[in-house]
């Protein structure tokens, strides 16, 4: 049963999220604790398309992509915990609050996204999460965000 999975590899992630290159920003979710928390991984490489312009002489991962990586981790957690694999799940940002950036994320970093659910459960369309992104156990970014989770009408 998928709701008992403790992790999601890239193949399962792609069965949950509609995102693809260049906007798939989570490589693996290594811990999924039901719908309450998850830990996602993004291996940051120089091959990311945004590094061409942000910034050519000192590549820095844009803050908005860090927040998006946290949101994608949250969507995988919801997809696994609610058995929404292969269900054409769509998740849309509604709000981003209390967002702070604490350090630069650069090529070669392993970005860890720690997600916890503040509000949401099966049957609800609106979910609220807290995300923390870390590199080498140092806080890179933090944010709270609200998202609407939709499935196609059958």
Catalytic residues: 54
Q: Which residues are CB-contacts of 58 (< 8 A; sequence separation ≥ 6)?
A: none
Quote the strand ranges of 44-124, DSSP E.
90-101, 110-119
147 contacts: CB under 8 Å, gap ≥ 6: 71, 74, 75, 91, 92, 93, 94, 126, 127, 128, 129
Q: How far apart are CA 52 and CA 59, in angstroms?
A: 8
- Beta carbons within 8 Å of 38's beta carbon, 6+ residues apart: 29, 31, 32, 73, 74, 76, 77, 113, 114, 115
């Amino acid at each position: 049963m998928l709701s008992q999975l403790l992790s999601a590899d890239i193949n399962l992630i792609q069965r949950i999220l509609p995102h693809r290159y260049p906007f798939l920003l989570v490589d693996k979710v290594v811990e999924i604790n039901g719908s309450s928390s998850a830990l996602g991984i993004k291996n940051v490489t120089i091959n990311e398309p945004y590094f061409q312009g942000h910034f050519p002489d000192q590549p820095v991962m844009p803050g908005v992509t860090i927040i998006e990586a946290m949101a994608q981790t949250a969507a995988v957690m919801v997809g696994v915990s609610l058995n929404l694999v292969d269900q054409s799940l769509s998740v849309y940002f509604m709000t981003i609050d209390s967002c702070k950036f604490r350090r630069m994320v650069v090529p070669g970093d392993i970005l860890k996204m720690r997600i916890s659910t503040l509000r949401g459960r099966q049957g609800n369309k609106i979910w609220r999460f807290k995300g923390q992104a870390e590199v080498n156990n140092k806080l890179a970014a933090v944010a709270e965000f609200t998202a609407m989770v939709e499935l196609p009408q059958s």
